[in-house]
């Protein structure tokens, strides 16, 4: 793969740009769900005039296993730790009651305050992109329901997660505590500026899209660490990037088209 050193408008750190790992879509193209992850909620069974079933604990376990086999492993996610974490994390505990019948479906779901819980495949893919190991320290920007933090916690990661919406931060904190995740710390703060107190981090994951690369997050990344983040305009298709710090340089890999809710805060 060819690469060249250029200095983008992301600050003074040189950025090495690698080729796209997925087929990026142009504004004229419509991303296909089988190839490009799109974070757009679908209607519930109830909204379609159907009565959602009431799953049992056993059916959740079976459904979760099928989710990993059919939606995640079949699409190329292969890290054993990520797959095991996706099998272990009870996603149904992180969705609204009215979407319970879709807890393990292959699409994102709405949560409160206009936010979403991401498609399971996207959660697994971005987690694998972090390339983290047991005992690493990871910063998450955008706690939301707490599901992504729980997946990382299942991998024996020390998770520091920030959420700008106070009510979501409070709900996620209580939910994670009730489920026994003791290796997750939460904070209600503007995620654009990270969480400097515990920096530097082995990896940083951003689950909402800014329109540019936040320099405070790059500054809080360890040498050799990775930042996984969607970047692009609000309400449009964005690009999923992996930025890796190598000394005083940042290597950037374009992973193609995605769509996330916008990263809100003072930077806007």
Task: Give the active site residue among 23, 59, 78, 118.
Answer: 118
Residue keyed to tokens 């809710």: 261
Rounded distance between C-alpha atoms, residue 169 and residue 152, angstroms: 17
The first and second tokens of residue 102, run together, are 């879709």
118 is catalytic: yes
Bridge partners of 30? Answer: none
Contact 238, 231 (CB under 8 A): yes
Q: Which of 112, 121, 98 is nearest to 51 (CA)?
A: 98
Rounded distance between C-alpha atoms, residue 82 and residue 68, angstroms: 10
| Active site amino acids | 118
């Amino acid at each position: 793969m060819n690469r060249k050193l250029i200095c983008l408008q992301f600050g003074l750190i040189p950025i090495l740009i690698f080729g796209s790992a997925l087929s990026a879509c142009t504004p004229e193209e419509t991303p296909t769900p089988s190839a490009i992850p799109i974070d757009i909620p679908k209607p519930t069974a109830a909204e379609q005039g159907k009565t959602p079933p009431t799953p049992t604990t056993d059916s959740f376990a079976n459904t979760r296993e099928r989710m990993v086999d059919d939606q995640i492993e079949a699409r190329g996610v292969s890290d054993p730790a990520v797959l095991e974490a996706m099998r272990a994390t009870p996603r149904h505990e992180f969705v609204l009651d009215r979407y319970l019948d879709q807890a393990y479906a292959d699409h994102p779901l709405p949560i409160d305050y206009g936010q979403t819980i991401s498609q399971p495949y996207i959660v697994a893919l971005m987690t694998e992109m972090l390339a983290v190991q047991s005992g690493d320290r990871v910063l998450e920007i955008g706690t939301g329901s707490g599901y992504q933090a729980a997946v990382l916690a299942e991998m024996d990661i020390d998770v520091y997660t920030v959420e700008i919406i106070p009510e979501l931060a409070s709900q996620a904190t209580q939910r994670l505590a009730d489920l026994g995740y003791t290796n997750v710390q939460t904070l209600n703060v503007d995620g654009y500026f990270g969480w400097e107190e515990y920096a530097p981090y082995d990896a940083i994951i951003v689950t909402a899209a800014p329109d540019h690369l936040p320099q405070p997050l790059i500054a809080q990344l360890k040498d050799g660490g990775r930042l996984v983040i969607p970047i692009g305009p609000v309400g449009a298709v964005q690009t999923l990037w992996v930025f890796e710090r190598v000394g005083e340089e940042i290597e950037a890999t374009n992973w193609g088209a995605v769509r996330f809710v916008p990263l809100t805060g003072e930077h806007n």
